[in-house]
Structure formats: C-alpha cells, structure tokens
Structure 1
Amino acid sequence: MQLFLIRHGETPTNVVKRLETRVPGPDLTPTGREQADALAASFVSRRLDAVYVSPLVRTHQTAAPLLQGRDLVAVELPGLLEIEAGELEGHDDRAAVERYHGTIGAWVAGDLDRAMPGAITGRAFLDRFDGAVEHIATAGDEVVVAVSSGAAIRAWVGLRVDNVDLAFVADHVLGNTGVVELQGSPDDGWTCVAWEGAGVTAGATDAAGGVI
C-alpha cells in the first residue's frame, strides 16, 4: 500500500505560531488555499483510490482541491486528529511551544506514558492514530492520501516507520501541505520512501527526549 500523509495548509494560528488543536479549528488562510491548490496540481497525474481527513476544518479544506475531477469524497477519521495541547492550548510563548513539542519528542523516544499537560498520553495518541491507519488499510485501497496535522504525522512516523527515528523527525519539520510518502501495511510495517519530495534511506540515531 502507498500511503501519503499530508499536513494541512497554512492557518492563521500557524502564522503567529500559536498552539491551536481544538475542533473544528480555523480555516485556511489565502496562502493556505493556494498551497492546497498547488498540492492538488502536484497530484493531478497520480492515481488516488481514497482520501481521508481529520475532523479539523483545515484538513477538509486542504483535501478539497485533491478531490476535484475525481470520483471520490473525503472520509473523516477522528484518529487523524492533531495532538491536543491541553493546558497549553492557545499559547504562543516559546516555553509552551517547546513543552508541547518536547512532550511529543519524549513519546517518540519511548516514554509513551507521559501526558501532554492536561491532555492525552503518547500511548493514547498512538492507539488513536494506529486505529485510523488500520481502518485505512482494511479498506483495501492501494494508493491513499490522509490529511492530518504536522505534529501528529511526525510523531506517528517516528514511532511506526522502520527507517525514520526521533533524530530524523526532529531535524525535518513538515511544512504546510508537506507530503510524507510511505509504503507498507500495519502487518508488514512501514518504510518512508520520501519526505517532502526527498528520498529517505535510513533514520539517524535516536536522541532521547529530543524536541520535535
């Protein structure tokens, strides 16, 4: 199975670097809509069997241009949601943002029982995202797009993809409408083929507790 995990387009909270994880969340900015159009153009000659989104408005709006001219509708999966910020929600100060990403980095390093302040643990996040991927795989489609959020994609890939580790995801921020291309399945495991268009061969050495 070929799975494209795609971060949503730019939102106003992305611009000001504020933590915003609540549903339904903000719309895309004009730039974000342009990014979504450009994403669709990059996929225009590609086969797509299915498109999945999270409950966040920004993922629906990012996926909409991909669906144009195709006999497909976006399927919403709660498991693709952004990682809830909990007590850090709405903060844009450096300490809060670093604590958010540092907690996720600890999950990828193996501390899955650590909780985001006032919110989800790494184990609960992983179970949720795994469930979404299992649902996608069970449908039997061969080429699939799933639009989610940057932190969620990077965390899940760092935990579940064979040739990507914490050091890699810490060094590779996923831009708006950035694409991570995977091959594999839940049973056989996953390999990252490309990260934002660049080929991936092997991850670097883990650095426990790193910030992603």
Structure 2
Amino acid sequence: MGKRTWNRTGTAIAMVAAALTATLTLGGCSSTPHVRTITLTLVRHAESEANAAGVLDTSVPGPGLTDKGRTQAQEIAKELSHNRHDGVYASSMARSQDTAAPLARELGRQVQVLPGLREIDAGWFADRPNSIVGPVYLLAPQAWLNSERTATIPGSIDGNQFNDEFGGAVRRIYDAGDTNPVAFAHGASIMTWTLMNVTNARNSLMLDHPLPNIGKVVITGSPATGWKLVEWDGIRAF
C-alpha cells in the first residue's frame, strides 16, 4: 500500500472513530433534554372606570383606573414586591398598564407591553351593561374549555385565535428568560387561557370563583412541557 493510500485510509478510520465516540457519548447522556420551567403570576387589573360604570368595555386602550383602582394598584404592588419577580408585563390596555406601573417602579423595571394579553374582544356585546351581556359574553369561552374552540363570540374571535394570541404572549414572556415574571391582564382572558392550558384545570372555577380586581392566578411550567395551576385567587392547587 502506497503512502498516499495509507494517509487516506488513516484519515477515514480516524473520522469513523470520532463519529463512534460522539455517538457513544451522546448515548450516555439523558435522552430527555432539560427544559427550563418558570413560575408565572397573572394578575387581573385594578378597578377601571368601565368596571365602576358596570359596562363591558374591551376597546384598546380603553378606560383607565378609578381612584379606588389606583389604590388597589398600590396595594398589589406592595404585596408582590417581596416575591422577587424578575419581569413585569401588561396588555395593550390602559387599565392593565396603570395597574402594573406601581410594581414596576418598586422593582426598578419597565413595564413590557404585550398586546396578546388584552381582554377577549366583546364583539357585539361591547359597551353594554355587564349585568345583562356578561353571562352571554362568556358562553363561547366556556365552550372553549370543553374543546369547542371553533365557537365564536358574535362579532369577535373564536377559541383558536384567542389561544394563539394569549399563548403567544406567554411564550414571549418565557423566551425573555425570566424565571418569576408577573403579567397584568384581564379577568376573562386570564381565566379562559389558564383553564384551557393547565393540566389540572377545574373549569367550574370560571363561574364559581371569577377573578376580582387584582385577583391573581399562579401557574408553573413551560410552553414545551405544559402548565400546572398552583393558585387561583387564594385557592391552592387541587
């Protein structure tokens, strides 16, 4: 065998050996890669002018907070400031950003706005008395919880679009690298997305224990592995 042929053969053997070593090394590792998990706190905004007026207003940016709401925003900021939150997010609606602002100041952070966290568009029911249209407005979201995601709020969206938009915002929060973020959003959107996505959902919570102003939901997990409910407005996971 000539020297040149030997060099080519030796190189080929070395490459095969390197590939075999890499295969054995990877085979010795866990077949399941580690997925980072986070704890996400979702907080409903403080009392808005629409809440006080009893009107279903899902416009953007929509109304701001009442005097009572501004006091509630300070209260939730004090409560959450001790929890070592490393990111503060809010929807594109004024009332959620106004609620998030005091906590952001406490933590020395900026409120990051994610439109996907907005309230579910009320469609035909917008600007009408909540006492009359509120239960009808929630009929489609309740159907979404039962896997009927093509149900549509008249003049608005279906469950697939809602889940994609709110879930996309949650994904952006996860991708930001925070481990303990807090996001200020809205009653129907928080309740619906949470119950659509956690593995230990109890759908009756939407009607039996609706989120009050500055009520919060805590979940843990990741977009890849799924989410688990930890707390629903003071009710621990079951």
When the two structures are superposed, what TM-score results if normalisation uses the length of structure 2? 0.81
1:12 to 43, 49, 57: 49
Show the counterpart of 1:207.
none
Indicate yes or no: 2:76 matched with 1:39: yes
Show the counterpart of 1:61.
98
Show the counterpart of 1:78.
115
8 Å contact kept, 1:181–1:192: yes
**1:194 alignment partner AA:** E
Indicate yes or no: 2:167 matched with 1:130: yes
Deviations 1:107-151 (A, max 9, x none): 112111111111111110011011011111111110000110000
Distance (whole Å) between structure 2 residues aligned to residue 37 and residue 160 of structure 1:
30
Show the counterpart of 2:221.
184
Distance (whole Å) between structure 1 residues aligned to residue 215 and residue 225 of structure 2:
25
Structure 2 unmatched ranges of 5 or more: 1-37
8 Å contact kept, 1:49–1:143: yes
**2:128 alignment partner AA:** H
**2:143 alignment partner AA:** A
Distance (whole Å) between structure 2 residues aligned to residue 116 and residue 86 of structure 1:
7
**1:80-159 alignment, distance < 5 Å:** 80-92=117-129, 94-159=131-196
Task: Determine helix, strand or coil for the equivalent of 1:166.
Answer: coil
2:233 to 163, 186, 196: 196
Indicate yes or no: 2:24 matched with 1:24: no
Cα-Cα RMSD: 1.2
- Structure 1 residues 188, 198: closer, same or farther in 2, change over 3 A? same
Kindly, what percent of the aligned residue pairs are identical? 38
**1:196 alignment partner AA:** D
8 Å contact kept, 1:159–1:165: no
**1:51 alignment partner AA:** V
**Count of residue correspondences:** 201
Deviations 1:77-128 (A, max 9, x none): 0110100011111111644222101121111121111111111111100110
**2:48 alignment partner AA:** T
Task: Determine helix, strand or coil for the equivalent of 1:158.
Answer: helix
The structure 1 segments of at least 4 consecutive aligned residues displaced by more than 3 Å after TM superposition are none
